[in-house]
Amino acid sequence: MVHWSAEEKQLITSVWAKVNVEECGAEALARLLIVYPWTQRFFSDFGNLSSPTAIIGNPRVRAHGKKVLTSFGEAIKNLDNLKGTYSKLSELHCDKLHVDPENFRLLGDILVIVLAAHFTKDFTPACQATWQKLVGLVAHALARKYH
Amino acid sequence: MLTAEDKKLIQQIWGKLGGAEEEIGAEALTRMFYSYPPTKTYFPHFDLSPGSEQVRVHGKKVVAALGTAIKNIDNLSQALSELSNLHAYNLRVDPPRFSLQFLSQCLQVALATRLGKDYSPEAHSAVDKFMSAVASVLAEKYR
């Protein structure tokens, strides 16, 4: 059972309240595909991923980024039950999508960097630590149903 | 592999720091100790409280080494040879940790908080690759 202090919950919700899920999601996913190009293997039917510009402008990347981050929003509403929240998605990523869970860690770290660039000095060490904990737990929850 | 474009971007990013390099070193370490408590196990002899002088001095050292690496980006192996020996034979920081992923992440967060949208996806990619290359060189002599 994960423990979240009041301060951690506050750091998560106050940051989340200011996040534009569509923009942030698109940015995070685009960066994943740019910084770790091998992750493009999961998106071969997304069309033009030939350059950072193409990736950033790709509407399917944007849409999927939004979907991914929207699901993060669900996690934030259910901080005390991340495993339950991600149970079905975990099965999906294993059985249908065949995604190596290491990729969840990569995306989590990228999300933290996107938040840092967006919030600049407000993204304090305490804030980062809380979010690193969250993305780590989400990655873990998503990997949990793998077999 | 670091491309010519990557190298240019890294030098540009470093150039944009306008003298804040040392602060960034201390900040990256502070963030690392906060987010990844096991990394503190390598510094039992340090005062790790906020504003620690030891952390500041060490951060400055780390950033100076990265600066040297950037100036010698075409020959990282040689430029970091001493540090490579130090890490392999004296410090013996656990290599997987030492794939510098935690320091790299925290350094990038420190850069992103200062540069905002100037920390573009292309710059992010270049720095990530660079830190990976540095980590490989530092781990070269482990066994």
Question: Considering the domain boundaries, does residue A1 fall inside one?
Answer: no
Whole-model pTM: value is 0.90
Say whether B30 and A118 touch across the interface (CB within 8 A).
Answer: no
Pairwise CB contact (< 8 Å): A34 & B116: no
- Is A4 within the bounds of a domain? no
Residue with tokens 């992750």, as numbered in its chain: A39
**What's the confidence (pLDDT) of residue B92?**
82
* Residue at A5 is within a domain: no
User: Which of A:73-112 have CB within 8 Å of B?
Assistant: 109, 112
Residue B89 is predicted with a pLDDT of 87
Q: What pLDDT digit, counting tens, does each position of B13-49 carry?
A: 999 988 888 899 999 999 999 999 888 888 989 999 9
Contact A34, A55 (CB under 8 A): yes
Tokens, residue B92: 């013996």
Mean pLDDT of chain B: 91
Mean of the pLDDT values across residues B56-66? 94
Q: Does A145 touch chain B (CB under 8 A)?
A: no
Provide CB contacts within 8 A for A147, sequence distance 6+.
A94
ipTM score of the complex? 0.85
pLDDT in tens, A74-108: 999 999 999 999 999 999 999 888 898 989 999 99
User: Which tokens is A125 given?
Assistant: 């060490």
Give how far the C-alpha of residue B89 lies from the chain's centroid of Cα atoms, to the nearest Å: 19
To the nearest whole Å, the CA of B91 is away from the closest chain A CA by: 25
**How many other C-beta atoms can be found within 10 angstroms of the C-beta atom of residue B83?**
18
In this predicted structure, what is the pLDDT of residue A74? 92
d(CA A16, nearest CA chain B) in Å: 17
Contact assignment for A52 to B30 by CB distance below 8 Å:
no
A2 secondary structure, DSSP code? -
Flag whether pLDDT at B99 surpasses 60: no
Q: Do A113 and B119 lie within an 8 Å CB cutoff?
A: yes
Question: Residue A20 domain-assigned?
Answer: yes
Rg (CA), chain B: 14
Which chain B residues contact residue A132 at CB under 8 A?
35-36, 105
Cβ neighbours around A75 below 10 Å, total: 20
Task: Report the pLDDT value the prediction gives residue B141, as an integer from 0 to 100.
Answer: 83
Residue span of the structural domain in which A123 resides = 11-143
pLDDT (0 to 100) of residue B115: 95
In tens, the pLDDT along A25-81 reads 999 999 999 999 999 999 999 999 999 999 999 999 999 999 999 999 999 999 999
Confidence grade of residue B98 (pLDDT, cut at 50, 70, 90): low
State how far residue B26 is from chain A, nearest Cα, in angstroms.
12
* Residue in A closest to B27 by C-alpha: A125
Q: Is residue A41 part of a domain?
A: yes
CATH number at residue A60: 1.10.490.10
Superfamily of domain B4-139: Globins (1.10.490.10)
Query: Is A25 within a domain?
Result: yes
pLDDT band at B96 (very low <50, low <70, confident <90, very high): low
Q: Which pLDDT score is estimated for A126?
A: 96
Tell me how many domains chain A contains. 1
Segments making up each domain of chain B, as ranges: 4-139
Nearest CA in chain A to B113: A120
